[in-house]
């Protein structure tokens, strides 16, 4: 009798272990095979047409590195829920810029200015000042806003605000030739990171075009 009880008890314990293993395997089967991949975005290739062969028709200009606040200077793609709390910047969890937006916006500005003039970096401008005695004008740009703004859960825009300052170097100190803020928004086709990226790229291109026209028009 004792042997029979022990055998039955062993079978019960074995069955319990087997059921536990099955439960673990079933739970594992519900998990994804691999973690979700973070999607990387940029502004796309831009204008792929060849650059004009004609010589620059406008004076040389220097472009500094763009400035912004630390919250906008990372690689997170940010959005605001205007219908809930427009003061809170929120990041997408599985989407990132391939580089800081300030770098991408600067490249767009440089490309736009380069259509009709030579564009120098700040270091090149300093070198020209020391060797030739007169420096080109310097364009300074600050990124004040760069986010996807939702006015409803299904409707949003890409909002870009850039402040541009054109400065002329003078013996008595720099002289501001002009300063202007450019605010542009473009609608997002979809209420997600991909839609926000396309809207922000379109808004950036429009703002850059406005800046280039403004700089070209300053006398």
Model confidence pLDDT, tens digit, residues 8-66: 455 545 544 444 444 443 444 444 455 578 999 999 987 656 655 665 789 999 999 99
Q: How far apart are CA 177 and CA 62, in angstroms?
A: 14
Q: How far apart are CA 184 and CA 202, in angstroms?
A: 9
Q: How far apart are CA 203 and CA 156, in angstroms?
A: 13
- The tokens for 84 are 């809930």
Of the candidates 213, 104, 200, the one whose C-alpha atom is nearest the C-alpha of residue 145 is: 200
Of the candidates 186, 163, 162, 166, the one whose C-alpha atom is nearest the C-alpha of residue 177 is: 166
b/e sequence 46-71, b meaning 16+ C-beta within 10 Å? eeeeeeeeeeeeeebbbbeebebeee
Per-residue pLDDT for the chain (219 aa), expressed as one digit of tens each? 544 444 445 554 554 444 444 444 344 444 445 557 899 999 998 765 665 566 578 999 999 999 999 999 999 999 999 999 999 999 999 999 999 999 999 999 999 999 999 999 977 665 555 445 577 999 999 999 999 999 999 999 999 999 999 999 877 778 899 999 999 999 999 999 999 999 999 999 999 999 999 999 986
Evaluate whether 67 touches 122 at the Cβ level (below 8 Å). no
Could you tell me how far CA 124 lies from the centroid of its own chain? 26
Scan for tokens 């605000």, then name that residue.
Answer: 161
């Amino acid at each position: 009798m004792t042997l029979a009880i022990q055998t039955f008890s062993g079978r019960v314990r074995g069955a319990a272990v087997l059921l536990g293993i099955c439960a673990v395997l079933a739970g594992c089967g519900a998990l994804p095979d691999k973690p979700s991949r973070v999607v990387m975005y940029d502004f796309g290739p831009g204008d792929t047409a060849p650059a004009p062969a004609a010589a620059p028709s406008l004076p040389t200009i220097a472009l500094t590195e763009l400035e912004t606040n630390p919250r906008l200077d990372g690689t997170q793609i940010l959005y605001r829920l205007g219908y809930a709390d427009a003061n809170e910047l929120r990041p997408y969890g599985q989407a990132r810029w391939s580089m800081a937006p300030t770098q991408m916006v600067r490249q767009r500005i440089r490309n736009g200015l380069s259509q009709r003039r030579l564009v120098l970096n700040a270091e090149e401008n300093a070198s020209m000042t020391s060797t030739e005695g007169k420096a080109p004008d310097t364009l300074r740009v600050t990124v004040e806003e760069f986010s996807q703004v939702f006015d409803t859960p299904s409707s949003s825009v890409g909002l870009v605000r850039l402040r541009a300052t054109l400065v002329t170097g003078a013996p008595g100190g720099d002289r501001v030739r002009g300063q202007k803020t450019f605010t542009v928004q473009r609608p997002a086709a979809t209420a997600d990171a991909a839609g926000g990226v396309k809207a922000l790229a379109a808004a950036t291109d429009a703002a850059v075009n406005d800046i280039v026209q403004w700089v070209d028009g300053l006398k």
